[in-house]
């Protein structure tokens, strides 16, 4: 059977080549349907105890996903040699690849950053972020794109690879379930404040280490791209330490601050969500710099960050077999 580290490397390569083809079955789409149906059932059964309903929703989805992943992993382990291994390995590689989102992230953010038509750029970035984009100027569109690039470098690349290395396919799929739950029910509005509480807290916990690892890998990638010249890497480290907590999330600000420091741009600031203005703190030094001019550097840094995350996962996984 292929080693765990080889499966991770091939999964990363598969994601880089094909991304997320809409016609292929994808665990996240299945998870979305399961979460939607469970939410409706639990809202009826525990209508007056929504926080408890949220605990059950989180436990059932995350625990069930881990159990399915573990069952697949164990069945594949039984076919450790011969032709059955050639049938089991592609399934493991594909499922592992579905937990990673490097191609989709880099393509979609790159499309925004390279778009010269403001209306089109607003439309493209609206598909990536939850804020109002109708009145964003060109710099605002690019700032939003850079913020989502940094945040999703953690959620969509580093964290899945980290958990693939740490606990194989079952843990990576469980992380994806946590992430999907948070994106569907982890809101602080009236509908989800109670039901989504457990999902949001578990997402914060699951992303605590990966977010900080992402910040460090962004700094290392910056240093490597600058051929060992430390100026931009030092700025990234300084801004990450100073502004990493300037965010509503305990995790998202860390990679955002590292990228802002590396690119010498300022992210964050007042932002409109669903018609309401939120006075978000700034991340990065207030310098006259066009975020669009930093686009090629940003994409290069995140590409190298993804490769460094792959190396980290391979080292964590070691030579073992599933």
User: What would the pLDDT profile of 303-317 be if each residue is shown by its tens digit?
Assistant: 999 999 999 999 999
Q: Looking at the domain assignment, is residue 198 inside a domain? A: yes
Distance CA 198, CA 167 (A): 22
- Between strands 267-268 and 282-283, the pairing is antiparallel
Q: Looking at the domain assignment, is residue 102 inside a domain? A: yes
Check residue 2 and give its pLDDT: 64
Q: Looking at the domain assignment, is residue 210 inside a domain? A: yes
Q: Looking at the domain assignment, is residue 117 inside a domain? A: yes
Q: Looking at the domain assignment, is residue 73 inside a domain? A: yes
Q: Are 203 and 181 in contact (CB under 8 A)?
A: yes
pTM: 0.93
DSSP 280: P
Distance CA 161, CA 96 (A): 9
Output the six-digit token pair for 243: 């502004």
Q: Are 222 and 231 in contact (CB under 8 A)?
A: no
Q: Which range, of 11-25, 112-126, 182-196, 285-299, averages the lowest pLDDT?
A: 285-299
Beta bridge partners of 273: 276
Distance CA 23, CA 45 (A): 35
pLDDT category, 68, cuts 50, 70, 90? very high
The total domain count for the chain is: 1
Check residue 88 and give its pLDDT: 77
The predicted model gives 48-52 an average pLDDT of 94
What angle separates helix 27-45 from helix 50-78, to the nearest 10 degrees? 140
The predicted model gives 52-65 an average pLDDT of 97
Query: Could you list the residue range(s) of the whole structural domain that residue 111 is in?
Result: 4-317
Distance CA 113, CA 146 (A): 8
Distance CA 70, CA 75 (A): 9
Q: Looking at the domain assignment, is residue 148 inside a domain? A: yes
Distance CA 80, CA 87 (A): 11
pLDDT category, 93, cuts 50, 70, 90? very high
Alpha helix positions (H), the chain: 4-18, 27-45, 50-78, 83-98, 102-114, 118-126, 138-152, 159-185, 197-206, 208-225, 231-243, 253-263, 295-317
């Amino acid at each position: 059977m292929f080693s765990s580290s080889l499966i991770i490397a091939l999964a990363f390569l598969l994601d880089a080549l094909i991304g997320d083809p809409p016609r292929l079955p994808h665990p996240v789409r299945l998870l979305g349907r399961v979460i939607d149906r469970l939410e409706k059932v639990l809202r009826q059964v525990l209508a007056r105890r929504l926080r408890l309903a949220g605990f059950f929703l989180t436990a059932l989805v995350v625990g069930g996903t881990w159990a399915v992943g573990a069952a697949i992993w164990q069945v594949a382990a039984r076919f450790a040699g011969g032709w059955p291994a050639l049938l089991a390995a592609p399934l493991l590689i594909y499922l592992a690849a579905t937990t990673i989102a490097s191609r989709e992230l880099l393509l979609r953010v790159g499309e925004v950053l390279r778009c010269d038509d403001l209306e089109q750029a607003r439309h493209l970035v609206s598909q990536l972020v939850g804020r109002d984009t109708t009145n964003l100027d060109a710099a605002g569109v690019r700032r939003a794109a850079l913020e989502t690039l940094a945040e999703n470098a953690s959620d969509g690349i580093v964290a899945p690879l980290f958990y693939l290395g740490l606990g194989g396919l079952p843990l990576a799929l469980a992380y994806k379930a946590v992430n999907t739950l948070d994106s569907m029910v982890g809101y602080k509005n009236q509908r989800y404040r109670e039901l989504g509480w457990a999902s949001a807290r578990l997402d914060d916990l699951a992303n605590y280490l990966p977010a900080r690892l992402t910040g460090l890998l962004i700094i290392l990638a910056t240093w490597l791209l600058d051929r060992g010249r430390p100026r931009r890497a030092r700025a990234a480290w300084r801004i990450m330490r100073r502004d990493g907590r300037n965010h509503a999330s305990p995790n998202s600000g860390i990679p955002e601050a590292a990228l802002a420091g590396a690119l010498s741009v300022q992210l964050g600031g007042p932002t409109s969500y669903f018609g309401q203005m939120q006075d978000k703190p700034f991340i990065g030094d207030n310098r006259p710099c066009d975020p669009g001019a930093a686009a090629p550097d940003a994409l290069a840094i995140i590409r190298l960050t993804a490769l460094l995350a792959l190396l980290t996962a391979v080292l964590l996984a070691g030579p073992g077999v599933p």
